[in-house]
Structure 1
Amino acid sequence: MPETANILAEMNERSREVFRRVVEGYLETGAPMGSRTLTRSLSEKVSAATIRNVMQDLEFLGLLDSPHVSAGRIPTELGLRMFVDGLLEVGDLTLADREKLEATVGGNNTDVAQKLDLLGSALSGVTQGASLVLAPKHEAPIKHIEFVQLASNKALVVLVFADGHVENRIFTPPPGQTPSSMREAANFLNALAEGKTVTEIRRLMETEVRERRQEIDQLAQELIASGAAIWENEGARTERLIVRGRSHLLETGGESEEMERIRTLFDDLERKRDITEFLELTEEGDGVRIFIGSENKLFSLSGSSLVVSPYMNADRKIIGAVGVIGPTRLNYGRIVPIVDYTAQLVGKLISDQA
C-alpha cells in the first residue's frame, strides 16, 4: 500500500526497530509490549523514556495502540499492514510441514474433491487456522439445472452433473426476471441439457439466437423493401420492426401470416436471448465449493486475517485460491510459505487430473 510505504520510508532506524519489535512481540505472545521490555532487546542502548516517546509518535501515526492507559503497545490494523508489506521476513517451509501437506495428495485416490478436502484439513492442522480451498468450477455434462430467486438482484443456480457432482453458484439475473421466467428458462434448458456441458449449452443457445435473427431478417426483408416497415434500433436488445401507416407496433397487431410469423419469432428470439444471458451469468457466477478445515466463525469477526494465494492450471491460468483465516496475530512469516506451497500442490493436482 502506497500510504504505509511512505510512512515506512520516512521513519528513522530507531522508530523502525521499535515498531518491528513491538509487532514481532505481539505476534509471538499476543501481549502488549512495554518500554522496559524493549530496552533489553533493542540493538541501540536507549532509556525507557526515549522508547516511550518513540512509541507515542508511532501511536500518533496510527501504527500502534494502547489497550490500557498504563499498558504497553500493540499494532493497529494499519500497523500490521505496514509490517506485512515492508518488514515481514518470510521463513522457509519446514520439512515436517511439507510432508504433512504432500501426504494428502499422494496415493491412488483419483477423487479430486476428496483430495482437496483432505488438503484443506491438513492446511488447517499445520497452521492452526481456518483453511479454505476454492476449487475450480466443475465442467462435466449436465443432468439438471434449477434457478432459485433469492432477492430482486440475486439468484442461485443449482447444477446437477451427470457424474453426481452438485454445485451451487450465485449470480445477478438480467433485469425484470421473475420466478416464473426462471422456471421457464430452467425447463427449456433441461429439455436439451442431457449430455452437454454448460459451455456447450450456451454455444447451442447462441446458435439458436443467430438462426432466429436470420429468419426474422428474411421475413421482414420484403416488408422493408416495399417501404411497409422499418427497423428501429436494429440489432439492439430494444430493436422493433415498425409497420408504416399503423399506430401500433408489430407485436400488437398485424393481419398477415408473415407478420404473425415475425411476431412469434420475436418472442422466441427474446426468450432465447434471456436464456443465453442466464447461461453466461451462470458460468461467471460466484459460490464455487469451499472446503473448511476448521470452524469458520472467524469469517464473521472483524479482527481476523486472511492469507491467500491463487493457483493455476497447466495453461498458467488462475482458476482458484487457497488460504488461511485466523486472528490478526498470525505467524505470517511461517504461514505465507505454507499457503504458497499449498497453492502449488493444488495447481499440480488439478493439472495432473485434467
Structure 2
Amino acid sequence: MARLDRRSREIFRRIVDTYLETGEPLGSRNLSRILPMALSPASIRNVMADLEYLGLIYSPHTSAGRLPTESGLRLFVDAMLEVGDLTADERRDIENRVAAGGSGRPVDEFLADASRMLSGLSRGAGVVLASKIDQRLKQVEFLRLEPTRALVVLVGEDGSVENRLIDIEPGTSPSALIEASNYINAHLRGRSLSEARTELLHRQTEMRAELDQLTARLVDQGLASWAGKSAGRLETLIVRGQANLLEDVRAAEDLERIRLLFDDIETQRELVELLGSAEAGDGVRIFIGSENKLFSLSGSSLVVSPYRDQENRVVGVLGVIGPTRLNYARIVPMVDYTAKLVGRLIR
C-alpha cells in the first residue's frame, strides 16, 4: 500500500469493487466518469499500467478493462476491505434459521442448518467441519451380534448415536454385557471420551474389584473403540448449496471452473485438511484462489471461522466457498456471527 498514492488507491479500489459487484472488467473511460477526482482516460491508463506492473490488476483481453489479480484481491481484503456489522434483523434471521427447533436437537442437525443457512445467504456453498473428539456420553449399550462379536452403541448428550463393532470372548454372557453397560452409565455419564478414559484409568483397581475380569475387559474395549477413533480426529464434513455456484456461470470457462470446484469439494480429504488448518487461528480467515492448492485450478475463495465449546476449545470450523468475487464485506461478519452462535448452541 505504501507504493500507491491516493489516486492509484482509488482507481484500484474501483476496479475491485466493480469486479466484486458484477464480475466485469472496468475500463479507463468508465473509470473517468465515476472517480471523485478529475482524471482523463489517458491518465487513468497510465495509473492502470503501474498497477498492472505491481501485479495487482490484469487485462483479460486486448483493449479490455482491468480485473484484480489474486494478489490484488489479497491486498484489498487485507488493507482496504471495510467490514461492517450485521443488523439486528440479520442476526435474528441467522438465529431463527440455525436455532429453529430448540437446543435439544442433535448437533449434526443444527450444524447442517448452519451450513444450509450460510449457503442461502451467501449464494455460495456452506461448509461445516465438525469434530466429535469431545462428545459427552449419555448412554452406552453392548449388544451381542455373533458369538465373538458385539455392537457398542454410544449415545451422546447432543443426541448423536454411533456404533462400533468389537471382538468379545466366546461364551461372554448377556449379563456381562448388561453389567458393562451399567458400569459405564453409572460412573462415566456426562464425561467426554477423553475424560472417561482418564477416569477409567483412575478407577482400575476399584473396577477390578466390582466387576469380574470378562466384564472389566468389555468396559475397556467399549471406550477404547471410540477413544482410538477420536485420537485420529473423527470428523464430519457437511456441505450444502453447491448448486448455488452454478447460478453465476457466464461462459464455458466458468462452467469448467465450477466443475473443478465440485471436484475439489468431493475430494473431502483435502478440504478437511484446509478447514482443519483454519482451526489454528482466531476469528475469520480468508483463502483466495491459488493461495491454497485445493482451489488452485478452480479459482475459488473460502471464508471460514472456528467455533468453540463451553470450555473454549475449538471443536469445528464453518464458512462459505464461492468464486473469488464473493461479497467479503457481507460474508465475513455473517460467518463470524454464525460461528459464535453455533458455539453457544453446543454448550
- Whether TM-score is above 0.5 comes out as yes
Matches within 5 A, 1:272-291: 282-291=229-238
Structure 1 residue 308 corresponds to structure 2 residue 304: yes
| CA distance in 1 between partners of 2:152 and 2:130 (Å) | 15
- The equivalent position to 1:336 in structure 2, one of 309, 315, 332, is 332
Supply the distance in 1 between the matched residues of 2:196 and 2:343 (Cα, whole angstroms).
Answer: 27
Match of 1:324 in 2: 320
Pick from 140, 160, 169 the counterpart of residue 165 of structure 1.
160
Match of 1:199 among 187, 194, 217: 194
Deviation at 1:328, TM superposition (A): 0.6
Do the aligned partners of residues 281 and 162 (structure 1) sit closer, same or farther apart at CA in structure 2, a change above 3 Å counting? closer
Contact 2:106 / 2:160 at 8 angstroms: preserved in 1? no
Counterpart-to-counterpart distance in 2, 1:77 and 1:67: 13
Q: Who is 2:213 aligned against?
A: none
- Tell me the residue number matched to 2:215: none
How far, CA to CA, are the matches of 2:9 and 2:117 in structure 1? 36
Paired position in structure 2 for 1:15: 8
Q: How far apart are the structure 1 equivalents of 2:111 and 2:117?
A: 10
Q: Whole-Å Cα distance in 1 between the matches of residues 240 and 48 of structure 2?
A: 38
For 1:46 and 1:167, locate their aligned partners in 2 and report how far apart those are by CA, in whole Å: 66
- Count, aligned residues: 253
Counterpart check, 1:38 vs 2:35: no
Amino acid at match of 1:50: S
Q: For residue 213 of structure 1, what is the aligned residue in structure 2?
A: none
Deviation at 1:167, TM superposition (A): 6.2
| Alpha-carbon distance in 2 for matches of 1:110, 1:280 | 25
- 1:349 equivalenced with 2:331 (yes/no): no
Question: Structure 1: which 5+ runs fail to align?
Answer: 1-7, 145-157, 169-182, 210-271
Match of 2:22 in 1: 29
Match of 1:187 in 2: 167
Distance 1:167 1:36 in 2: 63
- 1:192-240 CA distances to partner (integer Å, 9 max, x unpaired)? 797566425644786799xxxxxxxxxxxxxxxxxxxxxxxxxxxxxxx
Gap change, CA 1:287 and 1:199, over 3 Å in 2: closer
Native 8 Å contact 2:119 2:125 kept in 1 = yes
Following the alignment from structure 2 to structure 1, what is the Cα–Cα distance between the partners of residues 50 and 162? Answer: 52
What is the aligned partner in structure 2 of residue 293 from structure 1? 240
Aligned counterparts of 1:109 and 1:317: Cα–Cα separation in 2: 20
Corresponding position of 1:231: none
SS of equivalent to 1:31: coil
Distance apart, 1:10 and its partner CA: 2.1
Shifted more, 196-205 versus 95-104: the winner is 196-205
- Structure 2 Cα separation of the partners of residues 188 and 205 of structure 1: 19
**Structure number with bigger Rg:** 1
**Residues 87, 313 of structure 1: CA spacing in aligned structure 2 closer, same or farther, 3 A cutoff?**
same
Partners of 1:19 and 1:58 within 8 A in 2: yes
AA paired with 1:127? S
1:110 aligns with 2:109: no
Q: Tell me the residue number matched to 1:71.
A: 64
Output one character per residue of 1:300-341: Cα deviation in whole Å (capped at 9) or x when no partner.
253111111112223333222220111111000011111111
Residue type at the aligned position of 2:41: A
Give the direction of change, closer, same or farther, for the CA distance of 1:165–1:110 in structure 2 (3 Å limit).
Answer: closer
The percentage of aligned residue pairs carrying the same residue is 46
Cα contact 2:57–2:67 (8 A) shared by 1 = yes
Alpha-carbon distance between aligned partners in 1 of 2:152 and 2:70, rounded to the nearest angstrom = 40
Question: What amino acid maps onto 2:25 in structure 1?
Answer: P
Q: Distance in 2 between matches of 1:112 and 1:280?
A: 21
CA shift, 1:119, in A, is 2.4
Q: CA deviation at 1:134?
A: 2.4
Amino acid of the residue matched to residue 45 of structure 1?
A
Amino acid at match of 2:194: T
The CA deviation string for residues 25-60 of structure 1, in whole angstroms up to 9 with x for no partner, is: 100010011111111122221111111121122112
* Residue in 2 that maps onto 1:139: 136
Q: Which amino acid letter does the alignment assign opposite residue 317 of structure 2?
A: A
* Contact 2:56 2:69 (8 Å CA) reproduced: yes
Give ranges in structure 2 of 5+ residues lacking alignment: 143-150, 170-176, 205-219, 244-258, 265-294
Whole-Å separation in 2 of the counterparts to 1:326 and 1:119: 16
Kept in 1, the 8 Å contact 2:131–2:234? The answer is: no
* Cα distance in 2 for residues equivalent to 1:322 and 1:314: 17
Aligned with 2:39: secondary structure?
coil
Over 3 Å counting, the alpha-carbon distance change for 1:52 and 1:337 in structure 2 is: same
Structure 1 stretches of 4+ moved >6 Å: 191-194, 204-209, 278-281
CA distance in 2, matches of 1:208, 1:118: 40
Query: TM-score under structure 2 normalisation?
Result: 0.62
CA RMSD in angstroms comes to: 3.7
- Equivalent in the alignment of 1:238: none
Question: CA 1:43–1:109 in structure 2 vs 1: closer, same or farther (change >3 Å)?
Answer: same
